[in-house]
């Protein structure tokens, strides 16, 4: 990470492998929890901040104290986008398969590239454009392929299950767009802050947004059984601290494209864990569509210096 943690003799590639494994558990933990999705997201983010704050050193606290009004606005904007990402992605897991949801939400490098081109005027290389096109084809196939098959053969799946899956897939794509907005909004702030100060300020903003949404919706905040609190903590310490925070740290030690490509292991890991722990076996169509999406993400990520980590 940053500060004193940067001096720990840990192989970045080993740390990255552990991070990808930790991130891969996220969808399983979300599925196991029965709490409202906004509450799951609230405690994942809050417990992550609680775990990271003690790691801040004096210099990092000083940098946090120097955040001005403009950077504060950027942090809030990034926090709002991140909150939307968590809520819609968690909701998608209620309607579609882990394999489809995780693959689609991992398509964020494609939307980062498109957003940087449209909003910031950054040039997209031919290789990047090819990757975006391939990924979009895969997304269409993964999202609407089951519906086409059901239309051709009604015995494949019911109209209700197909509609539910397509809704979940749409939410996962919205989650990818939201996290891409988070990256684009927070990019300038990340350049001026170390990993831990950046994550702390943005996650705090995200947690406050989620708290307001939870209260506005009238959700229960505290009356949950012990196993739910254990799942909240696991979401924070696994995918949050050991996962995305370590990925952010790894960005300072290995090439960006190595980190971006390594994150493609998340859909694979999550799918395997879903088979083991949820007995959820993807269809051949999901495998095919997912493979095309991942191929497009790989080409896009390797064609540009992208940011990573949630």
Indicate the domain borders of the chain.
3-302
Distances from the Cα of 292 to the Cα of 168, 204, 269, 286, angstroms? 19, 36, 17, 10
Tokens for 288? 């095919």
Alpha-helical segments (H) within 93-158? 98-105, 108-120, 126-152
Per-residue confidence (pLDDT) for residue 152, from 0 to 100: 44
Crossing angle for the helix pair 265-278 and 284-302, nearest 10 degrees?
150
Q: Which of 10, 249, 285 is nearest to 157 (CA)?
A: 285
At residue 304, the pLDDT reads 57
Phi, psi of 282 (to 5 degrees): -65, 150
Residue where the block lists tokens 């269409």 = 140
Q: Taking Cα atoms as reference points, which of 51, 3, 61 lies closest to residue 252?
A: 3
What is the rounded average pLDDT for all residues in the chain? 84
b/e map 245-270, b = 16+ CB within 10 Å: bbbbbbbeeeebbbbbbbbbbbbbbb
Within 10 Å of residue 226's Cβ, how many Cβ atoms?
7
HSE at residue 239, side-chain half, CA atoms within 13 A, is 23
* pLDDT tens figures, 128-176: 888 888 888 888 777 766 555 444 445 545 556 677 788 999 999 999 9
The pair of structure tokens assigned to 237 is 């310490």
Give the DSSP per-residue string, 167-226. Answer: HHHHHHHHHHHHHHHHHHHHHHHHHHS-HHHHHHHHHHHHHHHHHHHHHHTT--SS---H
Tell me the C-alpha distance between 172 and 182, whole Å. 15
Can you give the pTM of this predicted structure?
0.85
Residue closest to 209 by CA, chosen among 182, 241, 238: 182
Largest CA distance in the chain: 64
Q: Which two tokens stand for residue 239?
A: 């995918």
Q: What is the dihedral of CA 92, 96, 102, 103, to 10 degrees?
A: -120
Give the model's pLDDT for residue 26. Answer: 96
- Alpha carbon separation from 241 to 18, 81, 244, 271 (Å, rounded): 11, 19, 6, 21
Cβ neighbours, 10 Å, residue 67? 16
79 and 204 in contact (C-beta within 8 Å)?
yes
Tokens of 41: 């997201």
* pLDDT (0 to 100) of residue 147: 52
Give the pair of three-digit tokens for residue 260: 């971006």
User: What are the pLDDT tens digits along the chain (310 aa)?
Assistant: 544 444 456 788 888 889 999 999 999 999 999 999 999 999 999 999 999 899 888 888 888 888 888 888 888 898 999 999 999 999 999 999 999 999 899 888 888 888 888 887 878 788 888 888 888 888 877 776 655 544 444 554 555 667 778 899 999 999 999 998 988 887 777 777 777 888 888 899 999 999 999 999 999 999 999 999 999 999 999 999 999 888 877 776 776 667 777 888 889 899 999 999 999 988 877 888 888 888 888 887 777 554 444 6
Question: pLDDT value at position 160?
Answer: 60
The number of helices, as runs of H, and strands, as runs of E, in the chain is 15, 0
The span from the CA of 172 to the CA of 212, in Å, is: 23
pLDDT digits (tens, 9 = 90+) for 168-178: 999 999 999 99
Residue 2: the pLDDT is 47
Question: Are residues 22 and 244 in contact, defined by beta-carbon separation less than 8 angstroms?
Answer: no
Q: Length of the chain in residues, anyone?
A: 310
């Amino acid at each position: 990470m940053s500060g004193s943690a940067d001096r720990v003799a840990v192989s970045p590639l080993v740390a990255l492998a552990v991070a990808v494994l930790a991130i891969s558990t996220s969808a399983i933990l979300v599925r196991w929890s029965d709490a409202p999705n906004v509450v799951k997201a609230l405690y994942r983010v809050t417990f992550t901040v609680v775990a990271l704050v003690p790691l801040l050193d004096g210099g990092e606290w000083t940098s946090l104290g120097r955040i001005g009004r403009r950077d504060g606005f950027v942090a809030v904007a990034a926090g709002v986008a991140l909150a939307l990402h968590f809520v819609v992605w968690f909701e998608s897991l209620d309607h579609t398969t882990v394999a489809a949801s995780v693959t689609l939400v991992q398509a964020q490098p494609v939307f980062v590239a498109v957003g940087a081109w449209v909003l910031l005027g950054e040039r997209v290389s031919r290789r990047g454009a090819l990757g975006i096109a391939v990924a979009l084809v895969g997304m269409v196939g993964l999202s609407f392929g089951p519906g086409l098959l059901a239309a051709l053969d009604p015995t494949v799946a019911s109209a209700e299950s197909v509609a539910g899956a397509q809704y979940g897939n749409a939410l996962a794509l919205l989650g990818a767009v939201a996290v891409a907005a988070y990256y684009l909004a927070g990019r300038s702030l990340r350049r001026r802050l170390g990993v831990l100060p950046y994550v702390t300020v943005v996650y705090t903003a995200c947690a406050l947004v989620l708290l307001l949404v939870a209260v506005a919706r009238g959700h229960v905040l505290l009356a949950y059984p012990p196993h739910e609190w254990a799942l909240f903590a696991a979401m924070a310490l696994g995918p949050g601290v050991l996962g995305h925070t370590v990925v952010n740290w790894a960005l300072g030690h290995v090439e960006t494209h190595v980190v971006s490509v390594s994150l493609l292991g998340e859909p694979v890991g999550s799918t395997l864990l879903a088979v083991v722990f949820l007995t959820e076996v993807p269809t051949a169509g999901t495998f095919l569509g997912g493979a095309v999406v991942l191929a497009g993400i790989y080409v896009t990520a390797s064609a540009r210096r992208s940011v990573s980590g949630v």
